[in-house]
Amino acid sequence: MFALAIHGGAGTIARASLTPDAEREYRAALEAALTTGYDLLRNGAAALDAVEAAVRSLEDCPLFNAGRGAVFTHDGHHEMDAALMNGHNRLAGAVTGVRQVQNPIRAARLVMEKTEHVLLGYPGADELAREYGLPLQPAEYFFTQKRFDQLQEAIASGKMQLDHAADPNWKKGTVGAVARDQYGHLAAATSTGGMTNKRYSRIGDTPIVGAGTWADERCAISCTGNGEYFIRAVAAYDVACLMEYKGLSLEEAARIVVQDKLAPVGGEGGLIAVDAAGNVTLPFNSEGMYRASRVEGGEALVAIYKE
């Protein structure tokens, strides 16, 4: 039994805020990423390869706040974070503050496989990508007028702006994927541009193993939401802990973290999770979360709002 789930960010995604055309575009992008990962799993690929491929597909899509569509920092740059983790051997790799690498998730994998480190940041991480021949892009590749306008608004408001804002023009969409492959192995991957108007060098939960991304032999988790809250809650790892120490099901453990722990303190967002039996759960406490999942032999689910 293999299974895959992906997300494209959680937040205030009101039905009224998306035109039918925009909704179609988001759904198509989610479906394409899901199919990429699902087909790999069906053909016997490892969970790690499937989550990386699904995230790459979302990073290349300008609709989502990761890779190509990354949001701007306060000083008008892009600083992207990404992490992936392999459950059965607990290997992990992450990058933070990369500015040039086209697919930060590929750089995270390089950290895992080609260095002795887990988390590499800033020019050193872009340098590693260059060393191994990953495609790099100039700043213009990551430039979108809409994102730039969002930054000006955020600067005017004097606040760091979650990409989960009520204004429909604010793009939403840290991206992530979790999978269970045919061999029972689990993996998780997450990639983001962070938050609009974030201070330069700010690091969110995404590249912090245990906060925004986690995988072990029990479950694989990828989070999206207000990163500072997810860091303090050690959100992704807490799902694994609740399963291990309290014997809870994946669904119950994930629900407790998202609804009972994060929501009351203002930690808006959600997560996607899969367990060793191929169960999938996609809880969120925000108005919506771009999400999709498919379990072996089943239908693909693609959803945005609370349904």
Give the residue numbers marked as catalytic. Answer: 174
Min separation Cβ 1 and ligand ASP, Å:
29
What size, in residues, is the chain? 307
Q: Determine, following the binding rule CB under 6 A, whether residue 53 of this chain makes contact with ligand ASP.
A: no
- Residue number, nearest CB to ligand ASP: 227
Q: Determine, following the binding rule CB under 6 A, whether residue 253 of this chain makes contact with ligand ASP.
A: no
Q: Determine, following the binding rule CB under 6 A, whether residue 270 of this chain makes contact with ligand ASP.
A: no
Among 73, 102, 161, 224, binds ligand ASP (CB under 6 A): 224
Helices 104-114 and 122-131, packing angle to 10 deg = 80
- Identity of the residue, 38 or 64, whose beta carbon is nearer to ligand ASP in the bound complex: 64
Q: Determine, following the binding rule CB under 6 A, whether residue 285 of this chain makes contact with ligand ASP.
A: no
- Identity of the residue, 40 or 196, whose beta carbon is nearer to ligand ASP in the bound complex: 196
The whole-angstrom separation of Cα 186 and Cα 177 is: 11
The structure tokens listed for 40 are: 């790999």
Among 59, 79, 126, 163, binds ligand ASP (CB under 6 A): 163
Q: Determine, following the binding rule CB under 6 A, whether residue 174 of this chain makes contact with ligand ASP.
A: yes
Min separation Cβ 116 and ligand ASP, Å:
26
Stretch that binds ligand ASP, among 21-29, 48-56, 121-129, 220-228 (CB under 6 A): 220-228
Q: Determine, following the binding rule CB under 6 A, whether residue 204 of this chain makes contact with ligand ASP.
A: yes
Q: Determine, following the binding rule CB under 6 A, whether residue 206 of this chain makes contact with ligand ASP.
A: yes
- Identity of the residue, 37 or 207, whose beta carbon is nearer to ligand ASP in the bound complex: 207
The 3-class secondary structure across the chain, one letter per residue, is: CCEEEEEEEEECCCHHHCCHHHHHHHHHHHHHHHHHHHHHHHCCCCHHHHHHHHHHHHHCCCCCCCHHHCCCECCCCCCEEEEEEECCCCEEEEEEEECCECCHHHHHHHHHHHCCCCEEEHHHHHHHHHHCCCCECCHHHHCCHHHHHHHHHHHHHCCCECCCCCCCCCCCCCEEEEEECCCCCEEEEEEECCCECECCCCCCCCCCECCCEEECCCEEEEEEECHHHHHHHCHHHHHHHHHHHHCCCHHHHHHHHHHHHHHHHCCCEEEEEEECCCCEECCECCCEEEEEEEECCCCCEEEEECC
Q: Determine, following the binding rule CB under 6 A, whether residue 9 of this chain makes contact with ligand ASP.
A: yes
Min separation Cβ 297 and ligand ASP, Å:
31
Min separation Cβ 228 and ligand ASP, Å:
7
- Identity of the residue, 86 or 174, whose beta carbon is nearer to ligand ASP in the bound complex: 174
**AA identity, residue 291:** R
Among 119, 195, 215, 243, binds ligand ASP (CB under 6 A): 195
**What is the bridge-based pairing of β-strands 3-11 and 175-180?**
antiparallel
Stretch that binds ligand ASP, among 41-49, 88-96, 187-195, 258-266 (CB under 6 A): 187-195
The site that binds ligand ASP (CB under 6 A) totals a number of residues, namely 14
Min separation Cβ 224 and ligand ASP, Å:
4
Q: Determine, following the binding rule CB under 6 A, whether residue 73 of this chain makes contact with ligand ASP.
A: no
Order of all β-strands in the sheet with 280-281: 213-215, 219-225, 269-275, 280-281
Residues near ligand ASP, by CB under 6 A? 9, 65, 163, 174, 192, 194-195, 204-206, 212, 224-225, 227
